Amino acid sequence: MGSDSEHSDADSSPSPSVVGELDARRPVFFAPVASDSTNLETSLSDVVNQEAPLNNETDNTNLEPELPDDLIAIRLKALAKKKITLRRDILGLSHQSLKAFIRDDSQKLYGDEPKDAQVEAVAALVHGHHTFVLAGTGFGKTRIAEMYHNLFQPYQKSIVVVLNPLDSLGDNQVDEKGSVGVEHKKLSAINLTQDVLDDALAKRIISGAFEFVYLSPEALLNNRIFRGVWFNPMFQSRLSLVVVDEAHMIYEWGLVANGQSKSLSSHARHRSERGIFRPSYGNLCERLMATNGTPLLMMSATCRPIAIEKIIGSLKLYMGKVEFIRAELTRPEIWIVRINMKKSISSSEDLADLYATQEQTPDCKIVPTLIYSTTRNLTETVLDVVNRACNPIKTNNAAFSTFARRYHSQTGKFDQPDIVNSFASGVFPVVSATMALGLGQNWKRVRLGYIPMSVDDPNYKREVERENEKGFPTCICSNCEPESSQWLIENFKRMTTENFDSIISESPTNIASLNPPSEVCITEKDEVVWVKESGEKPLGEILEAFMQELVKKFENLFYNQMKEYSAYPPSVYFGIKQARKIAKNVTILTWDNIEQLIGHEMIPGQMEMLVKDAETFRSGDIYQNFVQIQQNRSAEIERNAYRLRQEKEAEESKKLEARKITQEDAARKKIETSLRVAANSERNKSSSADDPGRRKAAGFN
């Protein structure tokens, strides 16, 4: 094993007193790592084995306190191997020459011209600056880390760590790394989900087996094995870049940590869909900054100025030390339409008006659609609603439906990529999902934006001026063009993959040729709405008498057929409770639905007897008179209710009229008072103007 001087710079070594203090607090934590695999494995096992147990409240003996991250960083700097760097010819380039070199290198990798903001971001990272990229979805922020990583030599085994708020995002990124650029270059990548990381995998990560390592804040902060990986000198020497994807999540985690999120109900609603929120996530800076000079790349498409300020403060950085790359956040190609809901959001019934039946529009011609819901349960509700609209006779929520499927954080790990790939390849057109699908995916995401409520809003005016200067197309959102948006919603059912581009264009050309959806008559079996009856309490006089008659007739039928065979009395098979249910629902009782009310037939002839007795009772004079009395009572109640409403409305009208008269009198008196005060003021002014003349005429100097 080599000496410390062989693995560290002389000017970066801590003083003997600092090293002695660290050794006194914890005699052994890290050992210098040699290049051979045997010593590498020994070093890693030492780190893992000496890590203090987490959450061990049962054994409080001989537990040494863990070293803080900043002190570990000092020791890491003392023991670290020489950190990999870019070639000297790259580092020696001027800024403009460096940008030209990055542009050429990217063009070789991807086959197309990189964007200026992408090149600026990579150049800032080459200079060792922490970089914050603000760009809309679809800009190509993911390419920045790939472009920077491509500048290193393969033998250096450069490692890029990407922090994701959700495990499913890492899976998506790992899949994309399998084919990068025009030559389909394969970048080795791994997503460290909950049960993936073990000692054997940790050794592979340290040895540089993976170029991109994706993990969640949970793994970065609380995973014992990865903590050993993170502070391993060999790993730190290969760590070339740390990426925080969806950096605005640091702001939300910081709110949780500071207790400022109590009013943000979205944290509770979306907790399972947007990642695990813990207060410790607001303290990511201690871990992210302990990297011995590795640049930090933060990326986001939705960061307000206050969020940027809080993120920089949370990471203990300074605005002047961070390079900001600002690209276009506006998405002029997106048409935002606000629809006033007629039904509750929990029912999602408004979606039923947007889809035609399968006969009118086959599944293969439906426009690809993502429907986002706030909870997993709502995704199921949405699926039911759109399936009923598409096929009213038969609802199909099958896992292999060719119309719609759902996606959320608890969708199986094998089903998630299957759903994504099937949707992208056109197997089915509609996905009912939570934000687990949209967060960070390379699709057009659903975003919450600032929508002004008035054209006089100064923010609105400034944005209009900016868009006009940049030559943006005219906005056709539901605020700016309500008529066009209303027309779009009315014709949504008629929209297909064939006419979609024409329908959303400013001048539709083939709308006249579209046939409006034909009216489809669907005969559905009416669902019986039973009157709830427990059978515990007596009914009215007439219905109670009918109930007793049913019980007696069943007893006679029972004794005639089952007296010698049954060990139980007839009330066990049909008693007062069942008879009262029949009496309460006698008007809707039929051969087809009686079993829904009282269950299956217990003895031969039971159902026939009960239905015939119900029909006889229903057509008899006693029941008809009873029904007439009930109808008269209901009509009387309606008349009284109408009369009371009329009286109340008349009383309210009188009160409003009286209040109006009072207000008018008060206004009139106020005007009269104002006129009187004005007249008095005018007279006083006239008197003051005439006063000097009178004083002179009286002989006063």
Residue where a domain stops, chosen among 587, 619, 651: 619
Length of the chain: 701
> For residues 269 and 637, which has the higher predicted lDDT (pLDDT)?
637
**Which pLDDT does position 108 carry in this prediction?**
92
Whether residue 698 is contained in a domain is answered as yes
Q: Which of 121, 131, 171, 159 is nearest to 442 (CA)?
A: 171
Helix (H) or strand (E) holding 167: helix 167-176
Rounded to an integer, what is the distance from CA 196 to the centroid of its chain? 26
**Which pLDDT does position 698 carry in this prediction?**
54
Return the SS3 of 2.
coil
The pLDDT tens digits for 227-245 are: 999 999 999 999 999 999 8
Identify the weakest region by mean pLDDT among 88-92, 291-295, 373-377, 491-495: 491-495
- pTM value? 0.53
Identify the weakest region by mean pLDDT among 258-267, 282-291, 373-382, 652-661: 258-267
Mean pLDDT within 23-27? 38
Is the torsion defined by CA of 59, 61, 65, 66 positive or negative? Answer: negative
**What residue type is 630 in one-letter code?**
Q
Whether residue 460 is contained in a domain is answered as yes
Q: Is 514 left (phi over 0), alpha (psi -120 to 50) or beta?
A: beta
Do 69 and 94 lie in one domain? The reply is no
Residue 96 pLDDT class (50, 70, 90 cuts) = very high
Do 591 and 646 lie in one domain? The reply is no
Whether residue 344 is contained in a domain is answered as no
Cα dist from 489 to 350, 353, 459, 477, 486, whole Å: 11, 9, 28, 12, 5
**Which pLDDT does position 393 carry in this prediction?**
59
Do 180 and 255 lie in one domain? The reply is yes
**Which pLDDT does position 97 carry in this prediction?**
95
Contact between 360 and 366 under an 8 Å Cβ cutoff? The reply is no
**Which pLDDT does position 127 carry in this prediction?**
94
> For residues 245 and 450, which has the higher predicted lDDT (pLDDT)?
245
Q: Does the structure show a pLDDT above 70 at 45?
A: no
* d(C-alpha 7, C-alpha 63), whole Å: 30
Residue where a domain stops, chosen among 504, 523, 557: 504
Q: Does the structure show a pLDDT above 60 at 431?
A: yes
Residue 332 pLDDT class (50, 70, 90 cuts) = low
Domain that holds residue 25: 4-54+64-79
The pLDDT tens digits for 186-226 are: 999 999 987 788 999 999 999 999 999 999 888 888 888 99
Do 369 and 484 lie in one domain? The reply is yes
What is the number of structural domains in the chain? 5
Rounded to an integer, what is the distance from CA 88 to the centroid of its chain? 45
Contacts of 601 (CB under 8 A, 6+ apart): 595, 607
Return the SS3 of 499.
coil
Planar angle of CA 28, 32, 34, nearest 5 degrees: 140
CATH number at residue 456: 3.40.50
Identify the weakest region by mean pLDDT among 159-168, 420-429, 556-565, 616-625: 556-565
Looking at residue 537, the DSSP 8-state letter turns out to be S
Whether residue 518 is contained in a domain is answered as no
Return the SS3 of 96.
helix
Residue 58 pLDDT class (50, 70, 90 cuts) = very low
> For residues 376 and 515, which has the higher predicted lDDT (pLDDT)?
376
Whether residue 626 is contained in a domain is answered as no
* d(C-alpha 208, C-alpha 192), whole Å: 15
Whether residue 353 is contained in a domain is answered as yes
Burial class (CB in 10 A: 0-12, 13-18, 19+), 336: middle
* d(C-alpha 433, C-alpha 439), whole Å: 11
Helices (H), 177-232: 199-206, 217-222, 224-230
Do 102 and 74 lie in one domain? The reply is no
* d(C-alpha 438, C-alpha 416), whole Å: 12
Residue with tokens 């290198």: 105
Do 222 and 166 lie in one domain? The reply is yes
The pLDDT tens digits for 242-270 are: 999 888 777 766 554 454 544 444 444 44
Q: What pairing do the DSSP bridges indicate for beta strands 239-244 and 159-163?
A: parallel
* d(C-alpha 102, C-alpha 108), whole Å: 10
Beta bridge partners of 130: 322
The pLDDT tens digits for 117-139 are: 999 999 999 999 999 999 887 78
**Which pLDDT does position 106 carry in this prediction?**
94
Do 264 and 217 lie in one domain? The reply is yes
Helix (H) or strand (E) holding 130: strand 130-134
Contact between 414 and 389 under an 8 Å Cβ cutoff? The reply is no
Most confident region among 95-109, 246-260, 337-351 by mean pLDDT: 95-109
Whether residue 526 is contained in a domain is answered as no
Do 98 and 72 lie in one domain? The reply is no
User: Please, what is the angle between helix 141-149 and helix 116-126, to 10°?
Assistant: 40
The radius of gyration of the chain's CA atoms, rounded to the nearest angstrom, is 39
Do 298 and 366 lie in one domain? The reply is no
**Which pLDDT does position 462 carry in this prediction?**
78
Cα dist from 176 to 142, 211, 365, 442, whole Å: 10, 13, 28, 10
Planar angle of CA 506, 509, 510, nearest 5 degrees: 130
The first and second tokens of residue 555, run together, are 């007893």
* d(C-alpha 459, C-alpha 468), whole Å: 14
The first and second tokens of residue 244, run together, are 């925080």
Do 358 and 467 lie in one domain? The reply is yes
Most confident region among 11-15, 123-127, 660-664 by mean pLDDT: 123-127
Residue 115 pLDDT class (50, 70, 90 cuts) = very high
Residue 605 pLDDT class (50, 70, 90 cuts) = confident
* d(C-alpha 284, C-alpha 290), whole Å: 10
Supply φ then ψ for residue 135, to 5 degrees.
-155, 150
Sheet containing strand 296-300, strands side by side: 189-192, 212-215, 159-163, 239-244, 296-300, 130-134, 322-326
Do 42 and 100 lie in one domain? The reply is no
Identify the weakest region by mean pLDDT among 123-137, 169-183, 526-540, 685-699: 685-699
* d(C-alpha 259, C-alpha 175), whole Å: 37
Q: Does the structure show a pLDDT above 80 at 518?
A: no
* d(C-alpha 248, C-alpha 646), whole Å: 57
Residue with tokens 């693995």: 7
Whether residue 592 is contained in a domain is answered as yes
Strand segments, DSSP code E, in 304-429 are 322-326, 369-372, 404-407
What average pLDDT does the chain have? Answer: 75
Do 259 and 384 lie in one domain? The reply is no
Identify the weakest region by mean pLDDT among 437-451, 467-481, 572-586, 642-656: 437-451
CATH number at residue 275: 3.40.50.300
CB neighbourhood size of 220 (10 A): 19
Helix (H) or strand (E) holding 241: strand 239-244
Identify the weakest region by mean pLDDT among 105-114, 269-278, 554-563: 269-278
